[in-house]
Copies of this chain bind each other. A is one copy, B any other.
């Protein structure tokens, strides 16, 4: 679910669940997907919090539309964004107890809400499901490790290029062949994600534009003009 990692798994269940629904069977669903598809849907306004650090972990969420930013804050206000969630991503995984970070919609969002107690119940009855939960957590762990590589080792240019490469996987393709990336978050979110200031993020975007590697239609929409060059920059091929 965190950026910097490949697309999520899940979703293969959707068709099966839909088929079951058509058959009119209202038997209690057994898969996570089954539960989620009939879980209540709640809307959140931009900037509204889904949960905050210290809240009891009462629910597991799945984002249906919109985007959500996950972050931690230090006492003095410095902020580290841990990742962004997009449609299809699970939000709220973590060891039992309290939430250890904040989740805030960066644009209007809709989420399915599943009580955590139910999740635990399913896990107790379905060993396969417990293992799926584990794999979901492991995937997030891998994403966090990737992000560590960028905040710990990469330069501003490398970080931003890697970020854009990751976002490009979610992007669409314009008729002229260029990949178009919509950024559903502010420069501040990006900066706090990559461990940079908004000024540095902005300047680095400008530099990429001057290098004719990207084009900025609006500040929230990136056209990738030269994906190979971007890839090179992400891997550390100098300037």
The interface of chain A, by Cβ under 8 A from chain B, is: 72, 74-76, 78-80, 82, 93-96, 100-101, 120, 123-131, 133-135, 137-142, 144-145, 147-149, 151-153, 192, 194-195, 235-236
* A72: min CB distance to chain B, Å: 6
> B145 and A82: CB pair below 8 A?
yes
Which residues of B have CB within 8 Å of A135? 95-96
CA distance A151 to B126 in the complex (A): 39
> A74 and B130: CB pair below 8 A?
no
> B236 and A74: CB pair below 8 A?
yes
Please tell me which one of the listed residues B123, B138, B152 contacts residue A93 in the complex, with CB atoms under 8 A apart.
B138
CA distance A15 to B128 in the complex (A): 29
Which residues of B have CB within 8 Å of A120? 131
* A4: min CB distance to chain B, Å: 12
> A149 and B74: CB pair below 8 A?
yes
> A236 and B141: CB pair below 8 A?
no
Which residues of B have CB within 8 Å of A153? 74, 78-80, 195
Please tell me which one of the listed residues B101, B130, B195 contacts residue A134 in the complex, with CB atoms under 8 A apart.
B130
If A80-B149, A127-B127 are given as contacts, then 15 extra A-B residue pairs at C-beta distance below 8 Å, sorted by A number, are A72-B149, A80-B153, A95-B135, A95-B142, A123-B131, A123-B134, A124-B127, A124-B131, A125-B127, A129-B130, A137-B137, A140-B141, A147-B148, A151-B195, A152-B195
| A/B interface sample: 27 pairs, CB < 8 A | A74-B153, A75-B236, A76-B236, A82-B145, A94-B141, A95-B135, A95-B139, A95-B142, A100-B142, A100-B145, A101-B145, A120-B131, A123-B134, A124-B131, A126-B127, A127-B129, A130-B131, A130-B134, A137-B141, A140-B141, A141-B144, A144-B144, A144-B145, A147-B148, A151-B152, A152-B192, A152-B195
